Structure 1
Amino acid sequence: MTVQSGLSLWFDQVAADDPDSLLPRDPLDGDDVADVVIVGAGLTGLWTAYYLLEQDPALDVLVVEAQVAGFGASGRNGGWCSALFPVSGDELARRHGHAAAADLRAAMRDTVVEVGGVAAAEQIDCGFAFGGTVTLARNRPQLERIASEVEADARWGDESHLLGPDEVEEHVRAAGVIGGSYTPDCARIQPLRLVRGLVEVLLSRGARLAEGTRALRLSPRAVVTDHGTVRARWVIRATEAWTSQLSGSERELAPVYSHMIATEPLPPEVWAQIGLDRAQTFHDGRHLIVYGQRTTDDRLAFGGRGAPYHLSSAIRPDYDLAEGTAEHLRRELVALFPVLDRAEITHRWGGPLGVSRDWSPSVGLDAETGIGWAGGYVGDGVATTNLAGRTLADLVTGADSPLVRLPWVGHRSPRWEPEPLRWAGITAARRAAGWADRTELRSGHPSRVESVLNRVLGR
């Protein structure tokens, strides 16, 4: 039996390729030992295993997964392999200095290339296409923000170009656009095909994968699961939003939901009116993020934030399918592309992503306990997971590489407040972002809460 249908468009596409490919592998069979045990078979865990075996093929690497590989954000995201990092270059420089910020920005740009290189070398057909990202401005405050971001990008070596409305139309033709920007540092992918391709590569190289095995507690040199205890020299936590479900880690990351919809495959005459003919990804300059891509089978997949945070960091399957949020996304999609007013929406899905208290992703390894971690990607994880995997492999093997000196290594975010303060703070920030967008649309002037949002969001 495969995982539930409708988990995402990406799962349905993989199941259509091969209905048996999503059958869960055997769970852990009692107590076990390994050199490295990785908790979570999303992209963070799989990339970590991949680079560990690249560096030392003799390592015994065991990955344990509560569901099936890619069940979390790795199999539900928007399919952007992007150089985006949730903390701005300016904020990184304030915290860590100019050189460290520049190094991390360069590493993120290189990471997009690295993912494409591995996909090609390992013959993983995940639709990787270097189309770049177009950011749309549909009112004056959005255009001013985008212009400021392009100026900031130049300080950090990021290639970013301010566009007039005619130049935007060379990439994408959306309603009400008055300008925008373009960066080449993003690729469109089918994320679950990348996940499943990595699984096959890892199994062929001797890694072990135990699915249907839920980690209950991470301890020094051991992981306690519902099928037995694994003892290992190194324990890697790669659980992203589900970190909040681990005993003792309830306040490390908050699971915040993002949702997506996808249209039916669209005919060439519709795409002639929309554009995106080079697999560009797109979003706009609003505070409450929306994002989209043209899929490998000519659908338009479109997502956005703004779903409620659930008290006590609750994660439940019924939160994945929020009909109100899906209908809101459909309205926003048609507002951008009126030609889609009669297009059928064939897929609706969602899931939680991990957010740290200071909006900062982190990666690290505690040599005393043997516990490593990575996560808190705030939705920008497809590429960042690869950088995390390479970094964790270097930390575990003791490689003295430039990656282990990047400023996010060893970062410890503050813990989230206890409930109900956590719910109140996250809910207030979400509502403020929506209020700011509505105010800017109505008035044509930047919202007065923008500076507060920028501090909250690490900009």
Structure 2
Amino acid sequence: MALHGWSPETALSGARPEVFWTDRPDAPDGAQRLSGKIDADLVIVGGGFTGLWAAIHALTATPGRRVVIVEAGSVGCGASTRNGGMLDASIAHGAENAHRHWPDELDSIVRLGDQNFAELQQCLIDHHIDADYRSVDWLDVATEEWQLEDLAAGIPVLIGTGDSVRMLDADETRARINSPLYIGALLSEGYGGLVDPAKFVWGLTRLVLDLGGLIFEQSPVVDIDELDGRLSVLTETGSVRADRVIVATNAYPSPVRASRRRIIPVYDHVLMTEPLSDEQQASIGWSRWEGIDEAANQFHYTRRTADGRILWGGYDATYHFNSNVDARHEQSTQTHGALAEQFFSTFPQLEGLNFTHRWGGPIGTTSRFTCAWGQRFDNRLAWVGGYTGLGVAASRFGAQVALDLVDGVETERTELEMVRSKPFPFPPEPLRSAVVGITKKSIQRADDRQGRENVWLKFLGRLGIGFDT
């Protein structure tokens, strides 16, 4: 029975329309805007995880290299601080996705992903970055029988790559996290981690500056061109001339037109609860802090935070005509309201709990769900992006590949077919919106029909195009 006068709507009514992670008094001061003309060896366009990692790789490999980051807003203001802070070791959106696209490279992709994840963890330790990091197991939870079958079907691929996985029945799942909707789960032991993404961004920013890099904020790039044998990155108030450029704008508008055909922005929305009481925490268990995804095509992701809250996001992904990115899309009464309803359906014992924050932001996605790379200006410029929601760790690998490409260094990373090939391009408008809309409705229908795909989804599958929300 619902508490008198309480409802999911009232739980949401006091939520601040702000990103929880960055809504804090200890946020660092911003950097200055680029003004005038400067020279550099490497310019990085975009100050999110990818841009920061690219600068760190470049400065560490070549001390004294003149590296400049230019960011249109503030460092990390995009997906890098709007996500759930859930680290996945995969660089290819999971072993099953890698196996689907590049079966012959699966072992290499998994090994490089594990190496990337281990090096990320070591960076946190070596440079004393306090990002509330916690290594955790992962649960892919099922709410319907067909999802259990799908999870079980993927186990051979996961075991073949060395993952420690097993199925949990309903009682075992609810012993870990108590929800009446969860009827089983796939447990991946030691699979990933949790961070505070804003503290992570700020720690990497300090590292870039300590290594000698320069960062300019509020400096949107309006053009990149060749001038007297070098590349010129022009902003609204200044310019940088450099030998090499990496463009890492991900979901946000790129100055490189070619990347816009491969990467599109879809909006994801998130809620954060107030801290749970001891009684509320005991009612759901979750003592091992697992990261949790649902196994449906339209799925929620959820996690605990260091101060006792629950983050709840996902389910609905929204594309706006002509790949539009605008702050107006970050708040959605309809989507946030649906998320609140779904949260309390999942955890009815938490009735009376309130949400303190609600936000949204664009995710850069490709048609195969993995990062994509491209080059211009005789390979002196590389663009990178499209992590499709799993970029907190994979962005480190994406940045490393981009740096290899602009430096002309052949590595095991650059030899991967995953890197050398391009994802299937998205069509131009108005066909793009129509295709995305049809696909979204087909996904919803598949979830309603025990996972059975219609003709459209089967056609996309034959083209090697991925789909979920």
Q: Contact (CA 8 Å) 1:237, 1:373: kept in 2 or not?
A: yes
Alignment-derived partner of residue 186 in structure 1: 192
Cα distance change on mapping 1:245 and 1:289 into 2, 3 Å: farther
Amino acid corresponding to residue 109 of structure 2 in structure 1: L
In 1: Cα distance, 2:278 partner to 2:459 partner: 44
Q: Deviations over 1:160-214 (max 9, x none)?
A: 2221223223432222222111112110111111001110111111100000000
2:35 counterpart (29, 44, 47): 29
Alignment-derived partner of residue 195 in structure 1: 201
Alignment-derived partner of residue 57 in structure 1: 63
Q: How high is the sequence identity, in percent, across the aligned residues? A: 29
In 1: Cα distance, 2:288 partner to 2:241 partner: 48
Q: Deviations over 1:248-272 (max 9, x none)?
A: 6543311101110010011122122
**Structure 2 counterparts to residues 40-119 of structure 1, below 5 A:** 40-85=46-91, 89=95, 92-93=98-99, 95-98=101-104, 100-119=105-124
More displaced stretch, 60-69 vs 178-187:
178-187
In 1: Cα distance, 2:101 partner to 2:90 partner: 18
Deviation at 1:414, TM superposition (A): 3.6
Cα distance change on mapping 1:161 and 1:458 into 2, 3 Å: same
2:239 counterpart (199, 207, 229): 229
Deviation at 1:90, TM superposition (A): 5.4
Deviation at 1:133, TM superposition (A): 1.2
Deviation at 1:451, TM superposition (A): 4.5
Q: Does 1:11 align with 2:5?
A: no
Q: Does 1:145 align with 2:150?
A: yes
Deviation at 1:114, TM superposition (A): 2.2
Alignment-derived partner of residue 215 in structure 1: 221
Q: Does 1:456 align with 2:461?
A: no
Q: Deviations over 1:37-92 (max 9, x none)?
A: 00000000001111111111111000000010111000101111112455564554
Q: Does 1:406 align with 2:412?
A: no
Q: Contact (CA 8 Å) 1:260, 1:350: kept in 2 or not?
A: yes
Find the residue that maps to 2:134 and give its secondary structure. coil
Find the residue that maps to 1:418 and give its secondary structure. coil
In 2: Cα distance, 1:156 partner to 1:242 partner: 34
Amino acid corresponding to residue 205 of structure 2 in structure 1: V
Cα distance change on mapping 1:406 and 1:198 into 2, 3 Å: same
Q: Contact (CA 8 Å) 2:266, 2:364: kept in 1 or not?
A: yes
Pairwise CA RMSD of aligned residues? Answer: 2.3
More displaced stretch, 412-421 vs 242-251:
242-251
TM-score, L = length of structure 2: 0.89
Cα distance change on mapping 1:365 and 1:101 into 2, 3 Å: farther
Cα distance change on mapping 1:448 and 1:409 into 2, 3 Å: closer
Amino acid corresponding to residue 8 of structure 1 in structure 2: V
Find the residue that maps to 1:198 and give its secondary structure. helix
Q: Contact (CA 8 Å) 2:246, 2:406: kept in 1 or not?
A: no
Alignment-derived partner of residue 447 in structure 2: 437
Q: Name stretches of at least 5 consecutive residues in structure 1 with no aligned partner.
A: 441-445
Amino acid corresponding to residue 205 of structure 1 in structure 2: L
Cα distance change on mapping 1:258 and 1:144 into 2, 3 Å: same
Alignment-derived partner of residue 157 in structure 1: 162
Alignment-derived partner of residue 269 in structure 1: 279
Q: Does 1:319 align with 2:349?
A: no
Amino acid corresponding to residue 86 of structure 2 in structure 1: W
Alignment-derived partner of residue 443 in structure 1: none
In 1: Cα distance, 2:142 partner to 2:258 partner: 43
- How many residues align? The count is 444
Q: Does 1:166 align with 2:191?
A: no
Q: Contact (CA 8 Å) 1:365, 1:371: kept in 2 or not?
A: yes
Q: Contact (CA 8 Å) 2:96, 2:158: kept in 1 or not?
A: no
Deviation at 1:230, TM superposition (A): 1.6
